[in-house]
Amino acid sequence: MTVHTKLRMENPHLRNWLLSRENVGWVSLSDAVQATWRTLGFKCGLEIHQQLKTDKKLFCRCAAGIYHDFDDYDAEVVRHMRPTLSELGEYDGTALMEFKTRKKIVYRIKNDSACTYEVDDTPPFPLNREALDQAMRIALLLKMKIVGELHITRKQYLDGSIPTGFQRTTILGIEGAFPISTKTIRVIQFSVEEDSCREVCDIRHTRVYYADRLGMPLIETVTYPDMLTPWEAAEAAQNIRFIARSSGLVRVGIGAAREDVNVSIDGGTRIEIKGVAHIAWIPKLTHNEAFRQKSLLLIRDELAARKIDPASWKIRYTLLDPADWRHIPLLKKASAEGWKLVAVNLPGFSGILSFFNQPGRSFADEISDRLKVIPCLEKPNMLHSEQIDFSLLEPSKERDSVSANDTTLSNDVIPAPGSSTDSLLAGGVDQTGIQVFSGSRNKSGMTAPEFADSVWDKVRKELKATSEDSQIVFWAPDEDIKTALETISERCLLAFKGVPNETRKSLPDGITLFERVLPGADRMYPDTDSAPIPIAEAQIEAARVELPLGLDQRLEQLAQWGIPSDAYTYLLRNNLMPTVEDLSSKYQIAPKRLALYFAHLLKNLQGKDPLPFDPQRVEDLLIYIRKKKLALDILPEMLKVLFANPNMQFSSVLAVLNYKEITVREILAEIPLLQQMWARVKTNGLKRPDALNTWMMGRLRYLALGNMPLAELRQAVEKELSTNYTNSTN
Amino acid sequence: MLDLFKGYKGRALEVLKHFQARVWGDTTVQTTRGDFQGIILPRSENDDDRHIVIKLVTGYNVGIDVDTVLGMRETGYKEAHYKIPEKEFPFTPGLPKVKLLGTGGTIASRLDYRTGAVIPAFSPGELYGAVPELAEICNLETEKLFAVFSENMGPEQYKKLAVSIGKEIHKGIEGIVIGHGTDTMHHTAAALSFMLQDLPVPVVMVGSQRSSDRPSSDAALNLMHAAFTAGHSDIAEVMVCMFGPTSDEYGLLHRGTRVRKMHSSYRSTFRTIGDVPIARVTRDSVLPIKTDYNKRRRDNKVKVLPFFEERVALVYYYPNMHPDIIDSLAENGYKGIVIAGTGLGHVNKPVYPAIQRAVAKGVQIFMTVQTLWGFVHMFVYDTGRDLMSMGIVPGENLLPEVAYIKLGWALGQTADPDQVRELMLTPIAGDITAGEPYNGYLIFQGGIPEMEEFIRTYHK
């Protein structure tokens, strides 16, 4: 009996999930080929956010870049958000959704990083000119057309991430372009805006934010959906980062750059994956999203084939007697708090809830996600009649368990190891409890006996359901039941249409969760607190003068210098090209050699121990080496010591290396002595022709390090040995 | 005439006309900086004539420098109309009937391109669309009395407002809400406090500090608090209902004669000065702080005294004030002057002759304190005694603005100095109190450990 047959017998819902996954055509990212995405009609666009390196915030005079622990605050302020009218007179869809969630928003503030502007108790001060100048240079690097006049616009965000309820943002340029290896990517627009708050927690109807990051100047680069594979998307994100960093005007480090990734497929819709903290996550997230859309399209077709009319489709629900369910551990808490238990019948939805959605998730998770966001029901928040026990899958093969080697983009693109869970990241930190009852993470919530068919039979009986239907049971306090029912009904009705417009939250394992309805252009309106700011020709020209080289020129340069391609990312990401160029000309050292000190040696060291290191220290070392007339070969060795002990004096570094000043003549004088020793060592059967050579270099290397170039030493050794050899054979 | 070029003037207007482009036209603009595509928007009349504003397809607005324009081509036309979702305000039996009188404040609003300003929305339907919770509080009727900004409210409006409220009360309304801009709300509150005496129902003034076009505005919550107070509270006084703390937590009901706007932009800008507020209010409760307020009655009787003499001035004294300031008021026929003096109620000697001249002309002069808190005490120093002997009347603890309003109201009724003095010094609506309670003056100072602890613990 094969594994599959066994599964089929044990869990029909898992069988349905596997079958639907097959129909969707899902393959793992590592097994996918160009044709995979072409067939789907995969398209991807990016919105890249980067913090500018200004001293102050964008619309007030508070210091930028001061972060605090979430519990270290001076005061809290409470706000609620309600939708308002946009310029064109329509309420935004997102706005209405957020209104339904009835969130109480709490802001934590600290006096050193926030004033009354942050909590919207005072109008904005004039826009920070330093930020504008910095942004202008980056916009020009991206070949943007600069506007004639900045108009500060309010972009509504009702999630509370900004206390006003809108983000002040302004377009600086439109229609730019930048290269990736396969093509040119077009940029729709480039804007300067204020950063949002960091989320502390989001539980039930209360969401807490910290307002230290709020108001920091941010640039946003929005591309056209020109990326046709997940890998192109990652490369484009990477290159935008390189360009911004080449200006030296953007902040680096955790949370300083965040990506929103838009994905669509043929017949699907634009889905915005928000707050992707690492470029390395992009390929898998976009890949999975494409197939999620495909699966929703197949569900739409399936519902159409079943000839269900959405116009007359209606959920039916009933309250269950909590006493009957008290034995289920999952529901204990809910029942203790007096929540109601609601059973919902989804007519004609048999097989839909267990339909493949993403690795480890089925369509039911789409409903569960929305129950978390809209009526604010924490997960696990529901059970359904097609519960899948994913633990039955073979972990390695089937579950697409997230392994590092699945990400073939080099590790290099990950800014700092261990940073993935840091709360400075853009996205929400609420990553707990996901998939609790899909079984893949936590099997306790949802084990088979409790959801034996007999239990569901009872639910079906109460709902007068047929075998063509499927059922959901959720639990909620009275005041949230109405919204929860609307949420379930709304999501199911959207299934008839295909892929709903959404923004989704990204998780490190390549999975996305519903975040909110995708906002449209309707949420923009002019900021009545700010006057337009004209951009004169002279201002643009002044910025142009100070521009660094463009990315295409830098790539050419790298090739010219003969730099191995594995070193590109490190050099560009850390904006080291100008440093290499500068040091190379000042100290007459080949750029390749210098570049590899950084891109191989330093990178290696940082890979083992992620410490910050100021590239200026390399120049300090060069000056010292020149002054002491040391051979350059000692630099990497000194660098290693210096990396671990950044404040150590250079003379001490030499001492650690056991460096002794000694003349070339004295070094070479060691050769004949070593040769005599070799006669005794040789008995070990070292037959290779260069054995003596290697052995001797090993013995002499530390003596010579810094005192003479090692290449010279090698030549001298070779010469000496060959002379001796000739002598001895004669 | 149809205005195709809303707000555009000068060079920008010339360029639009030259290329036959118009507002609301979806237009491709060729410029030396590249092509821009979008809908041409009206321009705010206060902005310069060197830029044309377009809305990009992404919803953002950008300005185009007219000197860079090479060509324009209209490819479509899309005029926007502002509309607040309007639904009929539902009638709920059993809920109190509340009237909202509009003066021009922004409770709900829409945006105006021409000035970049926020235009109030007002009808019950519009308000219900913006704040549907109101329907659970009361049965609301609205009437727009005027549409003026707060700073343009004056005697004419005070009188009309008082008369209108009197009429509503006679008709049996159960509570009045007045939408008002916040800048001069306390002036109007004082005026109504004197003009409407012996009220049988609450008269609640409300506005918003942070414009109602923003999602985090205090407008909706203020309106709910005010509607609840008007409909359900038993406090039949003229009150200002605005945020207590800056947080969305509760509102405070301030007596109309003791309230003052104390911050240019904070939500919690209104404070009761020299006393404590009458009550706190939430969306579904009024929690009294004071007990000596005028209680709601079932009759429809109210004394309406809509009088106001406009030739009254409020003079904020400063060191080195010259006597001609007072002289010019007297010479221009002013009948009353309220001075906000220093300390306990003082001005310097050089002004004395002018004061004597003014009093001799029959000008009524009253002294208040620019410290805001505390009473005028003119017996303490010689300066004060000198001033009193010249005929300046100490105004007890009337707030300067309240004294100004009260003097205008008193002089509107009589020119007799004794009667005016009696009206001025007789407490009418808590405008003068017997004394100042110990907790009537609490301006906390940040930085002090116990205050920092307080701020961290409570939502201020």
pLDDT in tens, A631-661: 888 999 899 898 888 888 998 999 888 888 8
Indicate if B183 belongs to the active site: yes
Architecture of B97-303 per CATH? 3-Layer(aba) Sandwich (3.40)
Contacts of residue A442, Cβ cutoff 8 Å, sequence gap at least 6: A435, A436
Query: CA–CA separation, B282 vs B272, rounded Å?
Result: 18
Interchain CB distance below 8 Å, B213 and A81? no
pLDDT of A393 reads 77
For residue B114, give both structure tokens.
């021409």
Cβ atoms A147, A182 nearer than 8 A: no
In chain B, CATH 3.40.50.1170 sits at 97-303
B346 DSSP β-pair partners? B342
Query: CA–CA separation, B385 vs B174, rounded Å?
Result: 49
pLDDT of B120 reads 61
pLDDT band at B275, cuts 50/70/90?
very high
CB nearest to A121's CB, from B56, B116, B266: B266
Indicate if B106 belongs to the active site: yes
CB nearest to A119's CB, from B113, B246, B456: B246
Helix (H) or strand (E) holding B28: strand B25-31
CB nearest to A188's CB, from B58, B210, B264: B58
pLDDT tens readout for residues B371-390: 999 999 998 888 888 888 99
Query: CA–CA separation, B126 vs B104, rounded Å?
Result: 15
Cβ atoms A377, A215 nearer than 8 A: no
pLDDT of A443 reads 35
In B, minimum Cα distance to A75 occurs at B456
Chain A contact for B50, CB < 8 A?
yes
A533 within domain boundaries: no
Counting Cα atoms < 13 Å in the Cβ hemisphere of B305 gives 23
pLDDT band at B394, cuts 50/70/90?
very high
| Mean pLDDT score, B228-236 | 97
> Do A475 and A622 fall into the same domain?
no
Q: ipTM of this model?
A: 0.89
| Mean pLDDT score, B264-270 | 94
Q: Which residues of chain A have pLDDT under 70?
A: 1-9, 84-101, 394-452, 519-522, 682-689, 724-730
pLDDT of A488 reads 96
Contacts of residue B220, Cβ cutoff 8 Å, sequence gap at least 6: A82, B108, B130, B131, B133, B212
CB nearest to A123's CB, from B116, B117, B265: B265
pLDDT tens readout for residues A571-630: 998 889 999 999 999 989 999 999 998 888 888 888 888 777 888 888 898 999 999 888
Indicate if B182 belongs to the active site: yes
- Of the candidates A207, A198, A203, A220, the one whose C-alpha atom is nearest the C-alpha of residue A114 is A198
Cβ atoms A568, A596 nearer than 8 A: no
Strands A206-210 and B69-77, how do they pair? unpaired
pLDDT of A295 reads 97
Chain A residues within an 8 Å CB radius of B59: 153, 155, 520-524
**pLDDT, averaged across chain B:** 90
Query: CA–CA separation, A495 vs A480, rounded Å?
Result: 23
Counting Cα atoms < 13 Å in the Cβ hemisphere of A64 gives 24
Q: Where are the beta strands (DSSP E) in B343-399?
A: 364-369, 393-394
Chain B residues within an 8 Å CB radius of A148: 31, 33, 51, 62-66, 68
> Do A232 and A114 fall into the same domain?
yes
Interchain CB distance below 8 Å, B456 and A73? yes
With the CA atoms of A25, A26, A32 and A37 taken in that order, what torsion angle do they form, in degrees rounded to the nearest 10?
A: 70
CB nearest to A121's CB, from B111, B214, B267: B267
Contacts of residue A584, Cβ cutoff 8 Å, sequence gap at least 6: A590, A591, A594
> Do A302 and A321 fall into the same domain?
yes
Cβ atoms A632, A681 nearer than 8 A: no
A405 within domain boundaries: no
CB nearest to B64's CB, from A79, A82, A147: A147
Specify the 3-state DSSP secondary structure of A470. strand
Cβ atoms B411, B312 nearer than 8 A: yes
Q: How many other CB atoms sit within 10 Å of the CB of residue A39?
A: 13
> Do A645 and A673 fall into the same domain?
no
> Do A638 and A494 fall into the same domain?
no
| Mean pLDDT score, B164-190 | 95
Query: CA–CA separation, B446 vs A186, rounded Å?
Result: 52
Residue from B182, B229, B257, B433 carrying the catalytic annotation: B182
A217 within domain boundaries: yes
Alpha-carbon distance B51 to nearest alpha carbon in chain A (angstroms):
7
pTM: predicted TM-score of the whole model, two decimal places: 0.84
Q: What length is written for chain B?
A: 460
A95 within domain boundaries: yes
The C-alpha angle with vertex B336 and arms to B334 and B337, in degrees rounded to 5, equals: 100
In chain B, CATH 2.30.30.520 sits at 10-77
Which of A454, A485, A511 terminates a domain? The answer is A511
A531 within domain boundaries: no
A-contacting residues in B 218-247 (Cβ below 8 Å): 220-221, 246-247
> Do A333 and A475 fall into the same domain?
yes
Q: What range does the domain containing A718 cover?
A: 664-729
CB nearest to A148's CB, from B68, B117, B214: B68
Query: CA–CA separation, B253 vs B420, rounded Å?
Result: 29
On the 0-12 / 13-18 / 19+ scale of CB atoms within 10 A, A524 is buried
> Do A195 and A318 fall into the same domain?
no
> Do A553 and A488 fall into the same domain?
no
Report the amino acid identity of residue A312. S
pLDDT of A427 reads 33
pLDDT of B205 reads 96
- Of the candidates A205, A206, A230, A455, the one whose C-alpha atom is nearest the C-alpha of residue A324 is A455
> Do A244 and A132 fall into the same domain?
yes
Chain B residues within an 8 Å CB radius of A150: 62-63
pLDDT of A12 reads 87
> Do A127 and A22 fall into the same domain?
no
Phi/psi of residue B401, nearest 5 degrees: -70, -35
- Of the candidates A561, A569, A653, the one whose C-alpha atom is nearest the C-alpha of residue A607 is A569
pLDDT tens readout for residues B295-344: 999 999 999 999 999 999 999 999 999 999 999 999 999 999 999 999 99
Indicate if B78 belongs to the active site: no
In chain B, CATH 3.40.50.40 sits at 312-425
Query: CA–CA separation, A229 vs A46, rounded Å?
Result: 13
Contacts of residue A394, Cβ cutoff 8 Å, sequence gap at least 6: A3
Q: What is the CATH number for A384?
A: 3.30.1360.30
Contacts of residue A118, Cβ cutoff 8 Å, sequence gap at least 6: A60, A62, A107, A109, A163, A211, A214, A215
Strands A316-320 and A340-346, how do they pair? antiparallel
Query: CA–CA separation, A165 vs A168, rounded Å?
Result: 10
Assigned fold of B10-77: SH3 type barrels. (2.30.30)
List C-alpha distances in Å: A700 to A672, A693, B418.
Answer: 12, 11, 114
Cβ atoms A579, A602 nearer than 8 A: no
A425 within domain boundaries: no
Chain A contact for B291, CB < 8 A?
no
Instruction: Write out the DSSP string of A137-193.
Output: HHHHHTTPEEPSEE--EEEE-TTSSSTTSEEEEEEEEEEEEEE-SSSEEEEEEEEEE
Number of domains making up chain A: 4
A-contacting residues in B 66-95 (Cβ below 8 Å): 66, 68, 80-85
Q: Which of A68, A110, A121, A539 to mutate to test the interface with B (most CBs of B within 10 A)?
A: A121
Q: Which of A94, A105, A174, A525 to mutate to test the interface with B (most CBs of B within 10 A)?
A: A174
Phi/psi-derived region of residue B116, left when phi > 0, alpha when psi is between -120 and 50, beta in every other case: left
For residue A14, give both structure tokens.
């898992």
A189 within domain boundaries: yes
Helix (H) or strand (E) holding B7: none
Chain A contact for B57, CB < 8 A?
yes
> Do A74 and A195 fall into the same domain?
yes
pLDDT band at B58, cuts 50/70/90?
confident
Cβ atoms A102, A82 nearer than 8 A: no
The C-alpha angle with vertex A584 and arms to A581 and A585, in degrees rounded to 5, equals: 90
> Do A256 and A390 fall into the same domain?
no
With the CA atoms of B371, B377, B379 and B382 taken in that order, what torsion angle do they form, in degrees rounded to the nearest 10?
A: 10
Across the A:B interface, residue pairs with CB atoms under 8 Å apart total: 177
Alpha-carbon distance B180 to nearest alpha carbon in chain A (angstroms):
19
Interchain CB distance below 8 Å, A523 and B59? yes
In B, minimum Cα distance to A146 occurs at B33
Query: CA–CA separation, A311 vs B220, rounded Å?
Result: 36
SS3 annotation, A473-535: EEEECHHHHHHHHHHHHHHHHHHCCCCCCEEEEECCCCCEEEEEECCCHHHEEECCCCCCEEC
Alpha-carbon distance A160 to nearest alpha carbon in chain B (angstroms):
9
Q: Is the dihedral of CA A369, A375, A381, A386 positive or negative?
A: negative
A285 within domain boundaries: no
Chain A contact for B214, CB < 8 A?
yes
Interchain CB distance below 8 Å, B61 and A151? yes
List C-alpha distances in Å: A210 to A114, B247, B353.
Answer: 10, 15, 60
Interchain CB distance below 8 Å, A79 and B247? yes
Cβ atoms B274, B373 nearer than 8 A: yes
Q: Report the CATH number of the B312-425 domain.
A: 3.40.50.40
- Of the candidates B331, B290, B317, B437, the one whose C-alpha atom is nearest the C-alpha of residue B387 is B317
- Of the candidates A578, A548, A540, the one whose C-alpha atom is nearest the C-alpha of residue A133 is A540
Interchain CB distance below 8 Å, A534 and B220? no
- Of the candidates A488, A494, A515, the one whose C-alpha atom is nearest the C-alpha of residue A364 is A488
List C-alpha distances in Å: B243 to A77, A510, B253, B348.
Answer: 13, 45, 9, 39
Interchain CB distance below 8 Å, A77 and B247? yes
Chain B residues within an 8 Å CB radius of A169: 60
